[in-house]
Structures are given as structure tokens and as C-alpha cells.
Amino acid sequence: MDLEQFSLKGRTAVVTGGASGLGEAIARRFAAQGAHVFILDRNGEGAEAVASSLRGNGSGADAVVADVTDEASIKAATDLAVSRTGRLDVMVNMAGIAVTRRIVDLDEALIDNLYAIHLKGTIWGAKHAIRVMTELGIPGSIINCASAAMDQAAEGLSIYSAMKAAIATFTRTAAREAGKLNIRCNVISPGLIVTAMTQRHGVEENGQFSEAKMAAFIDGVKKFNALDRVGEVDDIANAALYLATDASKYVTGQILRVNGGLSMV
């Protein structure tokens, strides 16, 4: 097996939501494999902290303050990546939020926010990655983020699940349109991964975080997982590395479910 297939040396990657969580883990894995990484996030301070850490390890990294809901912001960020490195090889649309709200408690502002961040953010990222890759004639990889929630009903996650299912469908169409341009489009669909975002499951009604409540939630999820554990950020980073590199050069339009067997579709 040629492990050079997993190298990103000399390539440029843009990762949205790269200041924390899954996006940060992916950015760090890509940098370790030789990529120059542009870390996009609304949290400029957090993005710069990650980028500075990567540069300290000898990697190429830039922090970019960007709002994925704003097309102009994403266009500017992809153009910046090209202006500084001369290329764009990988686009990872990882930015997202999770809100638990029962259907009877939904309001328009919440629906619009989830739609804008998850679906519109993914669409703008894919659009401008395809645009840039096509202009440069570079074979590329676009990686979008769904969720195990799209495969099974979970109370309180109706809009979140709907957006993730829409991302999966959008990605298949993107793969069909971009395939002749040698641009691959795939989806990572994580199960429960322990990050700061999942800590909301340990918050009591009084707003205080409870280790016991969080542990009980994790134990509950583990019971439905074939591997009897929850995921770690490296599980997703490894999957993203595969989809970003030549190791997956014949893979497009696919959903890679990294969920420990929580769902088997």
C-alpha cells in the first residue's frame, strides 16, 4: 500500500468551522499531512489560535474571519486562499450548530438560522470551491458534513436533521455536476462525537452543567452503538483525510457514516 496517497503536501485546504471541534481536528490533521490550511470561522480569535499553533509546528496556516451564511464572505475566503498559495485542492464545509427544540416550540428565527448555517453555508462553500477549482483546472475534493441524526428520528432535532439530510442530497447532485471536472464531492456523517457542542446534553434545567447527566447521556448512546463507545474528533479527522486525498480518488457522491454502528443504512 502506498501511504503517499494520504499525503497533502503542496496542497491547499479551506476548513469552515475550523476554530474548534471537528473543524479544528480536521485542520490539524490536514496540516500534519502537509497541507496549507485556511481556517475559516466567525470566531476570529479562536481561528487565529489554531492557525498560530499550526505555524508553530512548521505548518502553513492562515486564520480567516468568515460567515458561512454570507456568500460574499466565502467567495472572498476562497479567493484569498488562491491569492496566497496559488491553488485550492480541498474544501471542508464543517461549520454548524446544534439546537434541541421540539416542533411545537420552533420559531422562524431558529429555523432560518439553522438553514442559513448548515444548508446555505454548505452551498456557498461548494459553489465557490467548484468555481475556483474549475478556473485553476485543479482536481479537487469537497467534503460536507451531515449527521447520524438524518438516519433516525430524535426528539428535538427535526430541523437539524432535515438540514443534514438536505446536505446529503445536495452533495450527490454536486458530485454529478462536478465529476466531469475531476472534482469529487462527498459527505461525512458523524455519530455522537465528544466536543464542546455535545456538552449541551449535560446541562440541567437550571443552566448548570452536570457531569453525571452528561455521562448518563453518553451511556445511553453507547447502548445503541455496535462498537459500544462514542466517537472522538480524530475519528472524523481520519475520515476527512481519506476523502481529501488520492486514497479516495475513485470515491464521489458518497456518505461516509462514521458513527460506531449507530445506524447502518
Just list the catalytic residues: 160
Find out whether 193 and 235 touch, Cβ atoms under 8 Å: yes
Percent of residues in the chain assigned helix, strand, coil, to nearest 5: 50, 15, 30
Task: Compute the radius of gyration of the chain from its Cα atoms.
Answer: 18
Find out whether 96 and 145 touch, Cβ atoms under 8 Å: yes
Beta bridge partners of 65: 41
Count CB atoms within 10 A of the CB of residue 188.
25
Find out whether 147 and 190 touch, Cβ atoms under 8 Å: yes
Q: Residue for cell digits 447532485?
A: 173
**Among residues 231, 262, 239, which one has the least CA distance to residue 94?**
239
The number of residues making up the chain comes to 265
Q: Which residues contact 149 (CB under 8 A, 6 or more apart)?
A: 157, 160, 161, 164
Q: Where are the extended beta strands (E) located within the chain?
A: 12-16, 36-41, 61-65, 90-93, 140-145, 183-190, 255-258
Alpha-carbon distances of 135 from 88, 122, 138, 193, rounded to whole Å: 10, 20, 8, 36
